[in-house]
Amino acid sequence: MVFESVSRTVRILLLGEPGVGKTSLILSLVTEEFSDHVPPKAEEITIPADVTPEQVPTNIVDICMAEQSLEQVAEEIEKAHVICIVFSVEKQETLNKIASYWLPFVRENCPDDHRKPVILVGNKIDLIDYSVIDNIWDIAEEYPEVDRCIECSAKTLTNVSEMFYNAQKAVLHPITPIYCIDEQE
């Protein structure tokens, strides 16, 4: 049995194409309200243990490709325990980029034998009246590190705290084998 000691903090990194709502999700979680005016990148936020469902201090880290180099983003991937790749449900190209760009980029920056759990986050569900979850099964099959997909809205606060709670759970109670045993002897 592979056993990993439980981390004393959970570090959640949000990745994804520009404009999908990463900063808005973080600020909606913290302020419990949506603002149309958010900075390009949220400051790193620490949620104290006693207000998280799993009672573990949680750091939330935003990225902004317009302000950061790929090397800086790669360093953040190395430091994170779980990665939320955000797409906008009303922009198909932001979903396409998950398999064509973001998941390979995350893999490149994780050791082969220790893939980090990934949550796919479909934001802006307030803008559509259907679900896009059916479009992600193929991605989840190809990338077993995908723990789950969650649809949410930073604007209406739908599933925002659930998204961060699921990211915490993916680290503390993983449901997928994070160690890639098929590549070991």
Given the rule CB under 6 A, which residues bind ligand GTP?
16, 18-24, 36, 38, 40, 64, 66, 123-124, 126-127, 153-155
Give whichever of 6 and 70 is closer to ligand GTP, judged by the CB atom: 70
Residue with the CB atom nearest ligand GTP in the bound state:
21
Query: Dihedral through CA 124, CA 164, CA 159, CA 173, nearest 10?
Result: 130
Could you tell me the smallest distance in angstroms from the CB atom of residue 152 to ligand GTP? 7
- DSSP for residue 89: T
- Shortest Å, Cβ 91 to ligand GTP: 10
Distance CA 3, CA 160 (A): 30
Least spacing, CB of residue 147 vs ligand GTP, in Å: 21
Nearest to 170 by CA among 12, 3, 5, 8: 12
Of 13 and 38, CB closest to ligand GTP: 38
The conformation of residue 22, written as its DSSP 8-state character, comes to: H
Q: Minimum distance from CB of 12 to ligand GTP (Å)?
A: 14
Residue placing its CB nearer to ligand GTP in the complex, 121 or 170: 121
Can you say whether the dihedral through the CA atoms of 97, 100, 102, 103 is positive or negative?
Answer: positive
